[in-house]
Structures are given as structure tokens and as C-alpha cells.
Amino acid sequence: MKVLRTPDNRFNDLCGFPFNPNYTEVDDFEGGAIRMHYIDEGPSNGELIICMHGQPSWSYSFRKMISPLTSAGCRVIVPDLVGFGRSDKPSKRSDYSVSRHVNWFKQFINNLSLKNITILCQDWGGPISLRVVAENPEKFSRVIATNTGFPDSRGVPLEKSALLRKLLADTPALSFLDMIKTALKNENPKKPRTMTEQTQDAASGRDPRPPFMYWIRHCDAFPDFDPGDIISHWVNECSAEEKRAYSAPFPSEEFMQGAREFPSLIPLFPDDPALRDNRAAWEKLRTFKKPFLTAYSDSESQAPAIQFQQEIPGAQDQKHVVIKGAKHFLQDDAGYELAQVVLDFIKANKP
């Protein structure tokens, strides 16, 4: 496997990010090794919190939460997923799959001998983390899901797969702003649909072009793909220096293959190779009794949060949170508030 490594000087003097880098190696499944980067701050014997980022961000997105959590005595670990941040970046789209991301994260946990984990997972951090939680529940003490989902294509007949894939193939790859404008044109801003609901509507013919397909196609094929620019539209405020920091891991197109591929890996279609594992994980999560909290932005669809609350036993009787005024990357928009949510959740759910 050809693996790229972002030059260290791309990470010099990033705004609000004074943390020292740490590294461990995971298997590339082709006879080689991949270096994963992570932040590790706070006392080694503190309550352990792992923060898992999404796409196309990296550990930088949690920078505002680290100091409040470590000041409260917690140990905070923030890994960069393979293909993101200071972690190595396999150079081909085909190098990435959901199962590989899940296995890389499991290796990461095992390499560092981590246990009694409180995990905070946002965006793509959710589907990856929740698979690992379902397969290794003994390693986790608590889960916090924020602006994420765990799709399993429920309610979509297998025979609709070809129709859905043709819809996706026929969807134009638009610029980011045109994509947002077109994708949201027919959406109700007060009740945004989940990706699974969009898939159900497309399969039934109620929606000839679901919004998520524009997002997949933008990442997959639009020539000017800029992670920093994308994130600047999904947070309330983003200075030029913060935008530079979000783009730092990706000096050129060849470094972006993991970020470009992620949306195409979402297991939304009923013939998706990751679907069986996601459904198996859901079966295990429906028996997960350890504390499980949802903390979502009020700008996001609450349907995934409600699904977690209704189907996971550990989510019962928890004080689930809706954070007002934050966009998708709420750890950036409301980092201090979300950190306090995490601390309150841990305090209320001591063993």
C-alpha cells in the first residue's frame, strides 16, 4: 500500500492548537504499517475520554474541549483517523473501507491498552466508534453521541439497490455552495431528514434526488475539494487561520483520498458491504446497558438521537441534551458547553 505523510511543517503554529503529537502504528492489511497520530493530554490516571472526529475534519476540531476536560482531571485522547490530520494517508480510494476504519480504531485502543473509556463520537466518529463499542463493550464505560448516526438502510427493499445507485451515478458533482443550495432546496429546515429517511423516500419515488447524494458526489468528483472551506460553512465562525488549520493535513489532491471517499462508504443502500456488520452491531447495541447520552445541535435532525434514545437501554433516563445555536461541528461552535455536558454526564454516571 502506498502511504503518504503530511509534512510536519504544515502543522506549525496552528491557531489554538498547542498540543504535542503522539504516534502509534496499525496494520495496513497489506503487509505494512500505518502511523496514527493522537493527542494525549491530562493526568494518566484521570477519567479517560476519547474524542472521535468526523469528515473532513481532524483532531483540531476538539481543540476547545481539551483544556476544560483536562482541567477537571480527565485524560483526553483524540486520535486522527487514518487518512486525516497527522495520521498517514493511504493514496488510493480503494484503500479505505468501513471495516478497515473499524479495525484501525480497535488496533489503536489495543496498542494503548485503553479501558474504562468514555467515548465522545461526532459525525463519522459515530459509525466507527459504535461498531467498536458493540464488538468490545467491556472496554467502554460510557458513550456520548453527538451529531452522528448509525445507518442500517432499514425499511429499504434490497431490490431498490440498482435504482438508488443509478440515482447517485446520475447526480451532478456540484461546487460546495451550489451543492448546499440545491440539496436543501426542498428540505424543511425545521425537520431535516436523516440519510436513512432520504434513502427510504428515494426508494419509494417520493424524492427523485435525495440531498445526501449531492454531498457524496461533491466529495467524490468535484475538482475543487477543500476541507477547510467546507468546515468553515459548518461552524458559526471560522477565521482565516482556523480555516488554514482545517486544511493543513491536505497539501494536495493525493492527500485527500480518505476524505473524498468517506461519504461513499456510508452504508445507506441495502446491498452495501458494510450493512450486515452495522445491523449486527445494532443488535448488540440494543442490549448495551451502560450510560449512553445524546448531545446534538438544534440545527441537526434529531431523528438519530431519538433512535439511540429509544433503542439503546443505556440511553434510558439520561438527561439528553440539545445545544442551541451550534452547527454541525458543535465541538468547535460550543466546545466549552459540550465539555461541561461530558463532565456532568460522567459525574452523574459513576460506577
How large a percentage of the chain has pLDDT more than 90? 88
Q: With the C-alpha atoms ordered 77, 82, 84, 87, is the resulting torsion angle positive or negative?
A: positive
Reported as a single tens digit per residue, the pLDDT across 44-79 is: 999 999 999 999 999 999 999 999 999 999 999 999
For residue 121, what is the DSSP state?
E
293 pLDDT band, cuts 50/70/90, is very high
Residue 285 identity: L
For the chain, the structural domain boundaries read 3-153+275-348, 158-265
Summarize the confidence of residues 169-180 as an average pLDDT.
94
Q: Which CATH superfamily is domain 3-153+275-348 in?
A: Alpha/Beta hydrolase fold, catalytic domain (3.40.50.1820)
pLDDT at 186 over 80: no
pLDDT at 236 over 80: yes
How far is it between the farthest Cα atoms of the chain? 54
- Distances 243 to 6, 14, 247, 257 between C-alpha atoms, Å: 17, 10, 6, 19
Reported as a single tens digit per residue, the pLDDT across 112-157 is: 999 999 999 999 999 999 999 999 999 999 999 999 999 988 889 9
Complete DSSP assignment for 10-49 = GGTT-TT--PPPEEEEEE-SSSSEEEEEEEEES-TTSPEE
Summarize the confidence of residues 274-287 as an average pLDDT.
95
pLDDT at 258 over 90: yes
Distance CA 65, CA 83 (A): 23
Q: Are 338 and 330 in contact (CB under 8 A)?
A: yes
pLDDT at 285 over 80: yes
227 pLDDT band, cuts 50/70/90, is very high
Q: Are 148 and 133 in contact (CB under 8 A)?
A: no
194 pLDDT band, cuts 50/70/90, is confident
List active site positions: 123, 298, 328
Directed axis angle between helix 125-135 and helix 98-111, to 10°?
60
Residue-level pLDDT at 188: 77
